Amino acid sequence: MIRVWDSGMTANRHVAVLMGGWSSEREVSLSSGNACANGLETAGYQVTRVDVDRSIAQVLDNLRPDVAFNALHGPFGEDGTIQGVLEILNIPYTHSGVLASALAMDKAKAKQIVKAAGIPVTEHILADRADVAKAHIMPPPYVIKPLSEGSSLGVLIVPEGQASPPQSLLGDAWTFTGPVMVERYIPGRELTCAVMGAPGEEVALEVTEIVPVSSRFYDYESKYVEGGSKHVLPAEILPFVYQNIRTLSLEAHRAIGCRGVSRSDFRFDENGTGDVVWLEVNTQPGMTPTSLVPELAELAGYDFPALLSWMVEDASCGR
């Protein structure tokens, strides 16, 4: 059961909302951060907006907030790095801790862990992008992803029948470092479910189906452009499939060691195998006006300020 926040707790509590940063998801983070800062002010907190740069440790040491609300996205903000800085400074923070953040950001390691917990995952291969661009590393259709990015940045879908891999992997526009993940393409419906709660008391919220409006998949524009996707909440799927996704989301959250709020993404091959396959977990779900978690929380009875307040009161070190 999720404990309801007490509005009396907000009095005189100072929250630093960390946003921006220097990852490729900077603009998304600024949108999330400003939305969260506004919501926390509505809830009665004293809020400082912090556009994060490499002086962040000194900035926070001078500021000494009661809580750091982490609205960063991408490398440094989601991968355990900023979490380590906050641990050193002994400033309580929201979302997952160092280890869970690092594991979830590495898509291959996250899949290894949840697979060991009995959660179905997609077949994948890790390879250098130059090798992936030379010849099909697995028969199409397949998906190419940067190993440690979010917001669907860099994701390429290679359809069945395509003669050769995408050569954009070798171009200057590809700014992502490290190996890429080549993953078996799973046809069907895109579904997502959030988990919320203190350790041992986590609950899976409802399930949303994501229907991109002008794209083949839930890409960057579908996520963040107004009208880019349709969110069907609750998802119109068979009850046993619905409950299975909620169960798997909770199991993935716990297997990786997530804290606060997380969101797991799935593909449901409704017209083929009938399988539900786990794709990844988001330890820093978006909080923009078009984001999924605020909608899921609202259906569970948490308006936006209440959701943010719960996250602030759940904040701690040693997560």
Which residues are part of the catalytic machinery? 25, 151, 224, 263, 265, 280, 282, 286
Cβ–Cβ contacts within 10 Å for residue 253, how many? 29
Helix (H) or strand (E) run with residue 81 in it: helix 81-89
Supply 271's token pair: 């017209």
Length reported for the chain: 319
Cβ burial 55-79 (10 Å sphere, 16+ → b, else e): ebeeebeeeebebbbbbbbbbbbbb
Distance CA 49, CA 38 (A): 10
Distance CA 309, CA 43 (A): 7
Distance CA 26, CA 30 (A): 6
Distance CA 236, CA 247 (A): 17
Give one DSSP letter per residue of 10-47, joined into a string. GTT-EEEEEEE-SSTTHHHHHHHHHHHHHHHHHTT-EE
Cβ–Cβ contacts within 10 Å for residue 114, how many? 25
Backbone angles phi, psi at 146, to 5 degrees: -60, 145
Contacts of 219 (CB under 8 A, 6+ apart): 152, 155, 212
Distance CA 205, CA 201 (A): 13
Label residue 39 exposed, middle or buried (CB < 10 Å: 0-12, 13-18, 19+): buried
The CA-based diameter of the chain, rounded to the nearest angstrom, is 63
